[in-house]
Amino acid sequence: MESPSPDGGGAGSAASAAGSPVAPRVVVGSKKFTESVILGEMAAQLARAGGARAEHRRELGGTRILWEAVLRGDLDVYPEYTGTLRREILAGEPAEGEALGRALAARGLSMSAGLGFENTYAVGMRRDRAQALGIRSLSDLSRHPGLRLGFSHEFMDREDGWPALRRTYDLPQRPRGLDHDLAYRAVASGNLDATDLYSTDPEIRAFGLAVLADDRRAFPEYQAVLVFRSDLAARAPEALASMRRLEGRISAAAMLEQNARAQLDHVPEARVAADFLGRELEVRSEARAEGRAARVLGRTLEHLGLVGLSLAAAVLLGVPLGIAAFRRPRLGHLLLGAAGVVQTIPSLALLVGLIPLLGIGARPALFALFLYSLLPIVRNAESGLSGIAPELRESALALGLPPWARLWLVELPLASPSILAGVQTAAVIGVGTATLGALVGAGGYGQPILAGIRLADPALILEGAVPAAALALAVQGGFGLLGRALVPKGLRLPPPRE
Amino acid sequence: MFRLSGVTKRYPGGEGLGPVDLDVPAGRTLCVIGPSGSGKSTLLRLLLGLVRADRGSVRFEGREVPGEDVLALRRRMGYVVQGGGLFPHLTAQGNAALLARHLGWDEARLGERLADLCALVRLPPETLSRHPRQLSGGQAQRVSLMRALVLDPAVLLLDEPLGALDPVTRHELRGDLREAFRRLQKTVVVVTHDLAEAVALGDRLLILRDGRVAQQGAPGEVLASPADEFVARFVGAWRDSLPGAGGEA
């Protein structure tokens, strides 16, 4: 059993099981931050080891998107935090303690036991300074009223941030609010004694910080768990059991280490996950990795597919709508108004709003791009047609041509430069907007851009941004050529000198 | 050919035509003259059925305009809009042949017809492959005329056919138009603001003022005995523009 994977990793039991005719399909999702991507990758690899054909839809645009997708069944499982489930997703419902499991079960969902760590608010100090002062827990802070504390603005404002901390531990200090990144640096350089952080932040390692124990539980519980569809137990019991082997196996220190490998050492998440699984669970698993050229090609095809399909649909509907708007001006006002309103919906809001209807993946992205393409196409078709000189329209009418012949032989050719310009505008906007498709799992050039932003890796950002810009230029140039083919020669001649 | 009885057409803003009673006899050339805003173009559009009269009736060959079959009606009339109205995306030939092609004429019949028309309007046939933006003003007017004539319509309606041309071309085309009208023996209605043109081209003159008929009759009649002060001033202005102003007509 030879694996063709470029990193030479063993295909393990996954490939053999996947070859059997009944291998169930398991779709894993992850959020667009590194820890979630690593956990998603671990789950996918374990599902494969459990005999499933697993896909990992990585870096989806936010909690809402994953939640809607797992409710709809577009995703089977994704890593989540109990605090997020209670405070964000099920806010307003009884979901404390045992009630959380019942609230999920009512929606056809289940939750694994905790994976072994929390990703919650924490307070960190420089290791040497903490040791020198003998501070190990948050309770110890109250004995040192002279400590200089600096917290991120969000932490200062949130009810479960500084107010909870001060109340629980009766802290006397008066902290300063400042930018998160600055706070890390200030602590590292000794200008601050302590700052807020997330308990599995790789910066903890990077800046050599010690995390103080939350011994009186000031901060909400954010246990990492896997949320999965309850039907998975019947559909893919072995894959589910395999994924649940993660329960209780990842300590906060281990997670922090994995995050740091991916975030700071730039090791691909699949590799990080595979190494961890091999070491902790003795699962041999395949870390799939593509070369850069194959990756860019794949993204290009996805991107072209998104823009091309949505644009084709927008032309097929938009030009007839433009004609209708031209023939019936009152309808036209209505149409252009509606298309204008759609245009003002922020793209992320539109994408997220479409997920309950269309799920995740290419479909919501295609539909959103289609909607955004409509306005320039309808508007330019309408204005191209109504901009035809009155004497030309009257001549066509007086010749005795029936309406469809006037449209086809005279009006559309005369409006063709304007129509084409509208399609070009839509295409260029589409190339840019399609990068957001990655947020809902549609792939495209947005994928490396998202990953690059997440990992603060300029090379990765450029891997998406440069081809996207090149594609926009190519579209621009392509439309120049298309104009020569589609706009009648007589309209491209310079107007006569008089 | 045309009979208008009690026709009124008003546009928002007060301009328009009527009430007008008018007979346009067959086979003759009628020139409609008047200052701008006097309703000349409105009259042409009423004849074509491009606009409907508010009151009164327009009849063509005894039938109400626009009537049931407006396409058939318009194909019985050749119309040249002010400025020619050639479609810039088509060649001269494409313009002239547009309607015949739409009706499915074969190329041989079409070629013959275009050759005849080129001869009639004195257009060099090689000009036909050019686009309107490559034509001179005079050539464009000749092509517009060909387009209007391709189906051999019963009447020809021309709106300021010599409007935007330089004086030399204007003079040439005027002679060619007169010759073409003579050979065609069609009913022709020409709208112009220029009395000299009207006198040169028309068998009859119709002078409009503020949408009403000020006078109609043969050119000699109108020039010799203007019906009112307005027509007299119109005629006077024309005489003054002649070489040796003040001479006899």
Q: Which residues of A touch B87 (CB under 8 A)?
A: 392, 395-396, 410, 413-414, 490
Question: A67 or A160: whose pLDDT is higher?
Answer: A67
What does the pLDDT look like over A410-421, one tens digit per residue? 999 999 999 999
Burial bucket for residue A224 (CB in 10 Å: 0-12, 13-18, 19+):
buried
Q: Which residues of B touch A491 (CB under 8 A)?
A: 88-89
Of all residues in chain A, the one with the smallest CA distance to B83 is A391
A491 at the B interface (CB within 8 A)? Answer: yes
How large is the average pLDDT for residues A327-356? 88
The single-letter DSSP state of residue A118 is: B
H/E element, A54: strand A53-60
Chain B from 108 to 167: CB within 8 A of any A CB? 131-135, 147
Interface mutation target, options A385, A388, A399, chain B, most CBs of B under 10 Å: A399
What does the pLDDT look like over B18-63, one tens digit per residue? 788 999 989 999 999 988 888 898 999 999 989 889 999 999 988 8
The C-alpha atoms of residue B51 and residue B58 are separated, in whole angstroms, by 11
Angle separating helix axes A458-486 and A292-327, nearest 10 degrees: 40
Our measurement of the distance from residue A125's CA atom to the centroid of its chain's CA atoms, rounded to an integer in Å, reads 32
Length of chain B: 249
Cβ-nearest to A493 among B74, B102, B131: B131
Q: Which of A20-24, A105-109, A167-171, A421-425 has the lowest mean pLDDT?
A: A20-24
Interface mutation target, options A388, A391, A394, A395, chain B, most CBs of B under 10 Å: A395
How large is the average pLDDT for residues A275-293? 82
How large is the average pLDDT for residues A95-117? 92
pLDDT score recorded for residue A1: 35
Of all residues in chain B, the one with the smallest CA distance to A404 is B102
pLDDT score recorded for residue A38: 96
Cβ-nearest to A395 among B73, B81, B135: B81
How far, in Å, are A18, A112, A201, A236, A461 from residue B43 at the CA level? 83, 86, 84, 83, 68
User: Is a pLDDT exceeding 70 seen at residue A236?
Assistant: yes
pLDDT score recorded for residue A455: 82
How large is the average pLDDT for residues A276-281? 93
Beta-sheet strands, E only, within A68-220: 77-81, 109-111, 121-126, 149-152, 176-178, 194-198, 209-211
**Cβ distance of A414 and B72 shorter than 8 Å:** no
Nearest to B129 by CA among B101, B180, B91: B91
User: Is a pLDDT exceeding 80 seen at residue A243?
Assistant: yes
How far, in Å, are A48, A323, A383, A385 from residue A326 at the CA level? 57, 5, 8, 7
**Cβ distance of B99 and A495 shorter than 8 Å:** no
Q: Which residues of B touch A404 (CB under 8 A)?
A: none
Burial call A357-375: b when 16+ CB within 10 Å, e when fewer = ebbbbbbbbbbbbbbbbbb
Nearest to A451 by CA among A171, A61, A182: A61
**Cβ distance of A391 and B87 shorter than 8 Å:** no
Burial bucket for residue B239 (CB in 10 Å: 0-12, 13-18, 19+):
middle
The C-alpha atoms of residue A137 and residue A123 are separated, in whole angstroms, by 9
Q: Residues A321, A45: contact at Cβ < 8 Å?
A: no
Q: Which residues of B touch A494 (CB under 8 A)?
A: 133
B247 at the A interface (CB within 8 A)? Answer: no
* Ranges in chain B, pLDDT < 50: 246-249
Chain A from 354 to 393: CB within 8 A of any B CB? 391-392
**Cβ distance of A397 and B132 shorter than 8 Å:** no
The C-alpha atoms of residue A169 and residue A164 are separated, in whole angstroms, by 9
Q: Mean pLDDT in chain A?
A: 89
Interacting residues of A285 by C-beta distance below 8 A, sequence separation 6+: A9, A10, A12, A14, A45, A46, A48, A49, A273, A274, A277, A278
H/E element, A476: helix A458-486
pLDDT score recorded for residue A91: 82
Cβ-nearest to B89 among A402, A490, A496: A490
CA distance to partner chain A, nearest, from residue B79 (Å): 7
A403 at the B interface (CB within 8 A)? Answer: no
The model's confidence at residue A2, banded by pLDDT at 50, 70 and 90, is very low
Q: Which tokens hold the place of A29?
A: 């999702």
The single-letter DSSP state of residue A123 is: E
- What does the H/E/C string look like for chain B? CEEEEEEEEECCCCCEEEEEEEEECCCCEEEEECCCCCCHHHHHHHHHCCCCCCEEEEEECCEECCCCCHHHHHHCEEEECCCCCCCCCCCHHHHHHHHHHHCCCCHHHHHHHHHHHHHHHCCCHHHHHCCHHHCCHHHHHHHHHHHHHCCCCCEEEEECCCCCCCHHHHHHHHHHHHHHHHHHCCEEEEEECCHHHHHHHCCEEEEEECCEEEEEECHHHHHHCCCCHHHHHHHHHHHHHCCCCCCCC
Q: What angle do CA A320, A326, A330 make, to 5 degrees?
A: 110
Chain A from 414 to 433: CB within 8 A of any B CB? 414, 416
**Cβ distance of A400 and B90 shorter than 8 Å:** no
The model's confidence at residue A7, banded by pLDDT at 50, 70 and 90, is very low
The single-letter DSSP state of residue A137 is: B
How large is the average pLDDT for residues A474-495? 89
What whole-number percentage of chain A has pLDDT above 70? 94
The model's confidence at residue A21, banded by pLDDT at 50, 70 and 90, is low
Question: Global pTM?
Answer: 0.80
Of all residues in chain B, the one with the smallest CA distance to A486 is B89
pLDDT score recorded for residue B249: 41
Interacting residues of B182 by C-beta distance below 8 A, sequence separation 6+: none
The C-alpha atoms of residue A494 and residue A371 are separated, in whole angstroms, by 35
**Cβ distance of A395 and B83 shorter than 8 Å:** no
The model's confidence at residue A287, banded by pLDDT at 50, 70 and 90, is low
Cβ-nearest to A490 among B50, B75, B131: B131
B8 at the A interface (CB within 8 A)? Answer: no
B75 at the A interface (CB within 8 A)? Answer: yes
Question: How many Å is the maximal CA-CA distance in chain A?
Answer: 98
Strand partners, B156: B78, B188
How far, in Å, are A407, B12, B95 from residue A396 at the CA level? 9, 25, 10
Interacting residues of A163 by C-beta distance below 8 A, sequence separation 6+: none
Interacting residues of A344 by C-beta distance below 8 A, sequence separation 6+: none
pLDDT score recorded for residue A456: 81
Residue B86, phi-psi category: left (phi > 0), alpha (psi -120 to 50), beta (remainder): beta
Token look-up 């807020």 returns: A196
Interacting residues of B13 by C-beta distance below 8 A, sequence separation 6+: none
